[in-house]
Amino acid sequence: MDIDLITNILYATVRTGTPLILVALGEMVCEKSGVLNLGQEGMLLMGAVVGFMAAVTTGSLFVAVLLAIVAGILMSLLFGFLSITLVSNQVATGLALTIFGAGLSAFLGSSYVGVGITGIEPMSIPLLSEIPIIGKIFFQQDPLVYLSFILFGLVFWIFKSSQIGLKIRAVGENPEAANAMGINVHKVRYLAVIFGGAMTGLAGGYLSLAYTPLWAEGMSAGRGWIALALVVFASWKAERIMLGAYLFGAFSIMHLVMQGLGFEVAPNLLAMLPYIATIVVLVLLSSDHMKTKLSAPMSLGVPYRPQV
């Protein structure tokens, strides 16, 4: 394997890792506030289909990305209304969101299957892109990849040193205490859920506008679920989400690596790898069950009803 091939593989790893980073960061913020949104897969598909439809009809990729985000937000509001306002079971509601999103996206996109668009093109960043190897891997990507770097920085900062981060955490750990301190629990949770929806919608847009500029039913292929595992794997830390996402990205492009090494393996068997890796990660986590329990937000998945 020569250096060019390795660089290309790492370049592709960053690309495949990007949607996972976006979804997982959004879900992390959501979970930090105590809300477990299992509907990521449904929101991802909605972001992808709405983004793609917008790109075809308006011809503007910028509008398309914005509408993908809006689609994610609308889906998350649906989830928020049921799980926060109507205190429904978060697990069942999340599953419902996924089933609904899969159905609605297939319906909306049915006449867009097979339509082609020019996707978001890579855009080299001056100077940085000329650094050997690193430049090619990180700075000759498309704008949404750069956006994922910025959003990572934002989420990292929020929980490292901001008031907002403290509020979100307070609500996720002990909503009663947070309420007593004068924090509006429902408002914080709604905002966190909306942020998660926006991130996942953006990730959907990335899939159908940049990663593979097309629409296919169920094209997210379980990335929403993998991202959910990733959040646990990263023990709710942004920097570990970033690393984990690239690790999973690497698993998803194993066929490139295998071809590079000259192996012939059936593509369908290689396609299983990211899912197997997710299961392995879940098993590894269990060796440290206590730690996972300690790093999880205390009130994760517990609806909050203000006492009257």
Partner 1 sequence: MFNVSLKLEKRPSDSQTMSFLSPLLAILLTLICGGILFALLGHDPLEALYTFFISPLSDAYGWAELGIKVAPLLLCATGLMMCFKAKIWNIGAEGQFIMGGLGGSWAALQFMDASSSWVLVPIMLTGMASGLAWAAITAYLKTHFKANEILTTIMLNYIAVNALLWAVHGPLKDPQGFNFPESALFVDTTLLPLINEDYRLNISIFFGLFAVVAVWTLMSRTWVGYQIQVLGEDAKAARYAGFKENQLTWFALLTCGALAGLAGVSEVTGPIGQLIPSISPGYGYAAIIVVFLGRMNPIGLVFASMLLALTYMGGEMVQMEMALPKSLTGLFQGMLLFFLLACDLLISYRVVLVKKMLDKKVSPSATVDAA
Positions touching partner 1 (CB under 8 A) are 38, 78, 82, 86-89, 91-93, 95-97, 99-104, 106-107, 110-111, 217, 221-222, 225-226, 228-229, 232, 266, 268-269, 271-272, 275-276, 278-279, 282-283, 285-287, 289, 308
The least distance separating partner 1 from the CB of residue 229, rounded to whole angstroms, comes to 5
The least distance separating partner 1 from the CB of residue 107, rounded to whole angstroms, comes to 5
The least distance separating partner 1 from the CB of residue 149, rounded to whole angstroms, comes to 27
Q: Provide the 10 A C-beta neighbour count for residue 62.
A: 12
> By C-beta, is 87 or 181 nearer to partner 1?
87
Residues 6+ apart with CB under 8 A from 196: 26, 27, 29, 30, 37, 40, 76
Q: Based on C-alpha coordinates, what's the Rg of the chain?
A: 19
The least distance separating partner 1 from the CB of residue 99, rounded to whole angstroms, comes to 5
> By C-beta, is 152 or 211 nearer to partner 1?
211
CA proximity to 69, closest of 100, 41, 46, 102:
46
Measure the N-to-C terminal CA separation of the chain; round to a whole number of Å: 67
The least distance separating partner 1 from the CB of residue 234, rounded to whole angstroms, comes to 14
The least distance separating partner 1 from the CB of residue 289, rounded to whole angstroms, comes to 6
> By C-beta, is 107 or 157 nearer to partner 1?
107
The CA-based angle 253-106-241, given to 5 degrees, is 40
Q: How far apart are CA 200 and CA 154, in angstroms?
A: 16
For residue 70, give Cα distances in angstroms to 44, 106, 145, 199, 250: 12, 18, 19, 10, 30
> By C-beta, is 99 or 134 nearer to partner 1?
99
> By C-beta, is 123 or 280 nearer to partner 1?
280
> By C-beta, is 61 or 257 nearer to partner 1?
257
> By C-beta, is 28 or 82 nearer to partner 1?
82
The least distance separating partner 1 from the CB of residue 92, rounded to whole angstroms, comes to 6
